[in-house]
Amino acid sequence: EVRPGEVHAIMGPNGSGKSTLANVLAGRDSYTVTQGSVTYKGGDLLALSTEERAREGVFLAFQYPVEIPGVSNIYLLKAAVNAIRKHRGQAELDALDFLKLVKEKLALVQMKDEFLYRSVNEGFSGGEKKRNEILQMAMLEPSLAVLDETDSGLDIDALKVVAEGVNALRSPERSMILVTHYQRLLDHVVPDVVHVLGGGRIVRSGDRTLALELERRGYQWIAASAPAEQPSAAG
């Protein structure tokens, strides 16, 4: 269970099911759930379409953000923000109010105004794409944010900027799930709980110290540990 205000980190070796979990939560069409359930806000998340999940506050930051030639960032953001506001029964933002809001969020991820008028992710560096994902999250204000390997391919400076953006968006109403291979992201975004996946299931849960232990010992020690060994205490 991921409670409001909590940040949970999902770790595990390649092929353990981390990105599959992220994509299933977001409702990607290429995945079919054959068993199990996901309860979100008291309802069946799996019964909702991808679009319905987005309107209900589920956000996925992609491991490999897609390029959308011909569609500007500002157009995409304005359309998405106003669609969600309409779903919430709020008035749409006019051009001036929207521009004021988006400039505040740009500062959060240290992006220049010019990014608003470029096609979504087209010609962006890896770090710019990841910052653009955090910008989208900041604008949409989801209640559940799933960040799929947001730290992948980032140098230390870009990682710090992205982590600062994520930390700024932590709130008592927002749950976050961070999917990551390495604990370096968790040096900057400290999770409440760390889960380790293996073979598509959680094999161990603990606090941040579990991630540090994984960094030292790798994943094999978990697979090789005795069944009677108790999992690390969750924080």
Residue 90 lies in a domain: yes
Confidence at residue 155, expressed as pLDDT on a 0 to 100 scale: 87
CA distance 40 to 44: 6
Residue 21 sits in a domain whose CATH number is 3.40.50.300
Residue 127 lies in a domain: yes
Provide the token pair at 153. Answer: 């391919």
Residue 232 lies in a domain: no
Confidence at residue 225, expressed as pLDDT on a 0 to 100 scale: 56
CA distance 104 to 149: 25
Residue 229 lies in a domain: no
Closest by alpha carbon to 72, among 33, 120, 115, 139? 120
Confidence at residue 227, expressed as pLDDT on a 0 to 100 scale: 40
Q: pLDDT digit of tens for each residue in the chain (235 aa)?
A: 999 999 999 998 888 889 899 999 999 888 889 899 999 999 999 999 999 999 999 999 988 888 899 999 999 999 999 999 999 999 999 999 999 999 999 999 999 999 999 999 999 988 899 999 999 999 999 999 999 988 888 889 889 999 999 999 999 999 999 999 888 899 999 999 999 998 888 999 999 999 999 888 888 877 655 343 333 333 3
Phi, psi for residue 9 in degrees, rounded to 5 = -100, 135
Confidence at residue 152, expressed as pLDDT on a 0 to 100 scale: 84
Which residues are within 8 A (CB) of 121 and not within 5 positions of it... i.e. 6 or more apart? 65, 66, 67, 68, 128, 129, 132
3-state SS, 52-75, equals HHHHCCEEEECCCCCCEEEEEHHH
Confidence at residue 25, expressed as pLDDT on a 0 to 100 scale: 94
Closest by alpha carbon to 37, among 47, 28, 50? 47
How far lies 131's CA from each of 46, 97, 102, 219, 222, in Å?
28, 22, 14, 29, 33
Residue 145 lies in a domain: yes
Contact present, 19 and 149 (Cβ < 8 Å): yes
Provide the token pair at 36. Answer: 């199990």
Residue 112 lies in a domain: yes
Confidence at residue 201, expressed as pLDDT on a 0 to 100 scale: 87
Residue 206 lies in a domain: yes
Total domains present in the chain: 1
CA distance 167 to 195: 19
Contact present, 102 and 96 (Cβ < 8 Å): no
Residue 230 lies in a domain: no
Confidence at residue 224, expressed as pLDDT on a 0 to 100 scale: 58
Domain that holds residue 182: 7-224
Confidence at residue 232, expressed as pLDDT on a 0 to 100 scale: 37
